[in-house]
Amino acid sequence: MHILLTGATGHIGHAILQTLLSHPSTTHITTLTRRPFTPPTPTPKHTNIVLTTFSTWPEEVLSQIKDADAMIWAMGASNADEAVNYEYPVAFQDSFLAALNNNNNTSKKDNKRFRFLYLSGALAESAQDTSLYFLAAARKVKGRTETFSLEFAERNSRFWRTWVLKPGGVYKEGSWGEYASWGLPKKLGSVGCEELAAFAVDVAVKGGEEEGRVLNERIVGRGREVLGR
């Protein structure tokens, strides 16, 4: 399987990339970054494509990735950056589906729909008229992306499947953050990087999970199952 990944230079994206590289079912991983990037251990299984902006997707880029089976979108900003948190993932979805249609590649997708995983957050708010006490703009812009992505999949259900991952606090296993995360409210929850990566890669490779919004508790449970914990 050919899997696409954004956000590979972040700590969550890095964990996802390492999981993808070690997965026996992935034949190739293409990371898309804004600056040159090479994994710690270079491998022919990996290709990196540099994009100066994710607002537009040139034909020469789309031609290299149009055979991909899934995208894990792990790029995001913790602030209310409209471009990173909304425009970029929306532009990818519109452009990639158009590329599939333009290249007459939809026959493949009739039987195996493209899988899009959007890494959001537990506090992202899709209801744009809701009053929020903190980080309102940042939470709502990601909520808009969630809504767009799910509605996009519904409109294009013959070719497209979408999962919105809503982890709570994400910590690196064995770090001080793991212990600090124990104090988070139960509704928010927390998840280890390895658990989140295991869940995301398992869905990207196999599907097998109900589409839509996936909350922290399910991510933790399934992630631990995949890891054999």
Q: What pLDDT digit, counting tens, does each position of 99-157 carry?
A: 988 765 544 444 589 999 999 999 998 988 888 887 889 989 999 999 999 999 999 99
**DSSP strands (E only) in the chain:** 2-6, 28-33, 46-50, 70-73, 114-119, 160-166, 169-171, 190-192, 212-215
Q: Which residue has the tokens 């710690």?
A: 40
Confidence (pLDDT) at 188: 61
Spacing of C-alpha 7 from chain mean position: 8
Kindly report the average pLDDT of the chain as a whole number: 90
Provide Rg for the chain, Cα atoms: 17
Mean pLDDT, range 35-52, rounded to an integer = 93
Output phi, psi for 188, to 5 deg: -80, -50
Three-state SS for 31? strand
* Residue 70 pLDDT grade (very low, low, confident, very high; cuts 50, 70, 90): very high
What is the number of other CB atoms lying within 10 angstroms of the CB of residue 173?
11
CATH architecture, range 2-227: 3-Layer(aba) Sandwich (3.40)
Tell me the domain boundaries of the chain.
2-227
Confidence (pLDDT) at 172: 80
Mean pLDDT, range 160-182, rounded to an integer = 76
* pLDDT tens, residue by residue, 2-12: 999 999 999 99
Mean pLDDT, range 172-195, rounded to an integer = 66
Q: Which residues pair with 165 in a beta bridge?
A: 119, 214
Three-state SS for 95? helix
Above pLDDT 70, what percent of the chain?
A: 89
- Whether the per-residue pLDDT at 183 is higher than 70: the answer is no
Distance from the first to the final alpha carbon of the chain: 26
Confidence (pLDDT) at 109: 45
* Comparison of pLDDT for 177 and 218, the residue scoring more: 218
Angstrom distance (rounded) from CA 82 to CA 194? 28
